Amino acid sequence: MSHIPVTFSTQPLEAVKRAGASFRAVEYAAKTLLLAQGRLTDTVFLLVSGLVKLTHVDSSGKEIIVGIRRSGWLLGVAAAILHQPQPAGAATFTRCQLLRIPAEEIRDLVGAESMFCKYLHELQAQEVHDHLLSAVELATHSTEERLVRLLPELALSTELPLSQPQPNVQIPLKQCELAALLGVTPEYLCRVMHQMERKGILVRKGRLLFAANVNKLSRLLP
């Protein structure tokens, strides 16, 4: 999963605009498939706002969440540059705004625009760094600690004015999706969430899950 904060010294929109790419801003509803696993794509997406999940469907048909992405990320760019099928699918978790960029144009930009290349190198370095952090956290941090780290990222994907105090922020994932993302069973996550409810970190209302405001969550991080 990606970790907070995701920062780039080169701003994504600035890099794409300066490169002169022929992009088009599009609004997508939640649960919209953007990239299909195992297929070539002629489009790369720059995520402007919202939250996107990366998934892999195994041979038995089970869908596994392998990552989440929010604003600033290019989706499908590595496979597009290599002209290879997508190793994972991508679908919107929440309503999203994305820029559609032709994959052929991305391949041309790699060798032609220094600012875009700088952003692309930073993006790929961030992704490699995040994979390593995820492996370390899985081995050394409890499920509760990893969930506390994940919740602010999910909260920041909402469209609420988080600069103002919020008693609770709805999390756009189901409990089974959170469990898959954290690499634990839904039953085990349920026990962990009960403990976090008693601490005031989480609030459950029916099937909806809410987290304490981002500032409160940040104080819980080591």
What domains are defined for the chain? 12-137 (2.60.120.10), 141-220 (1.10.10.10)
CA 222 centroid distance within chain: 22
The residues with which 6 forms a beta bridge, in sequence order, are none
Predicted local confidence at residue 61, as pLDDT: 83
Task: State residue 66's pLDDT score.
Answer: 82
CA distances to 12, 18, 19, 20, 132 from 118, rounded to whole Å, are 10, 12, 12, 15, 21
For residue 55, give every residue at least 6 positions away whose Cβ sits within 8 Å of its Cβ, in sequence order, or none: 37, 63, 64, 65, 66, 88, 89, 90, 91
Which of the residues in the chain have pLDDT under 70?
1-24, 110-115, 125, 128-140, 155-167, 213-222
Q: What is the pLDDT of residue 131?
A: 65
| Of 49, 71, 74, nearest in space to 127 by CA | 74
What confidence score (pLDDT) does residue 198 get? 85
How much is the pLDDT for 157? Answer: 60
**Widest Cα–Cα separation across the chain:** 55
pLDDT of residue 89: 92
Give the pLDDT score at 163: 47
d(CA 48, CA 71): 5
